[in-house]
Amino acid sequence: MRRRRSRVVELRAIAHARSGDKGDTANVGLIALKPAHYPVLVRQVTAARVARHFRGMIKGPVERFELPNLRALNFLLHGALDGGGTISLKTDAQGKVFSTALLRMTVKLSA
């Protein structure tokens, strides 16, 4: 029997994203480029994996919400912004580029 081959790609090959802030929480909206990519995001980009991806960058838990109508996932990264808003010392105090940081994560696509 032939083994099904798969290839590994960065999320940016199959998704786009935008991020923002609410206090010390950054949100990342991850959007599938094509309808067929949405199930890949749902299966592989879990809250636990996102938490591991951002290890050392965020202090709190990660929550995930599904928006199948927009083919999007929304992640809340708690404790991501050094206190957030005016308190934060970070260049990215408002979490604007956590979006592309998430797009560095890899996923497996069946060939």
Binding site for another protein (CB under 8 A): 16-25, 27, 29, 31, 33, 53-54, 56-57, 65-72, 74, 76, 82-87, 89-92, 97, 99-101, 104
Minimum distance of another protein from residue 84's CB (angstroms): 8
- Kindly tell me the burial class for residue 68, based on how many C-beta atoms sit within 10 Å of its own C-beta (0-12, 13-18, 19 or more): exposed
Would you say the C-alpha torsion 51, 47, 8, 92 has a positive or negative sign? negative
Identity of the residue, 4 or 97, whose beta carbon is nearer to another protein in the bound complex: 97
User: What are the C-alpha distances in Å from 84 to residues 21, 27, 45, 75, 96?
Assistant: 8, 12, 25, 17, 12
Identity of the residue, 2 or 69, whose beta carbon is nearer to another protein in the bound complex: 69
Minimum distance of another protein from residue 61's CB (angstroms): 13
Residues paired with residue 9 on neighbouring β-strands, in sequence order:
107
Minimum distance of another protein from residue 2's CB (angstroms): 34
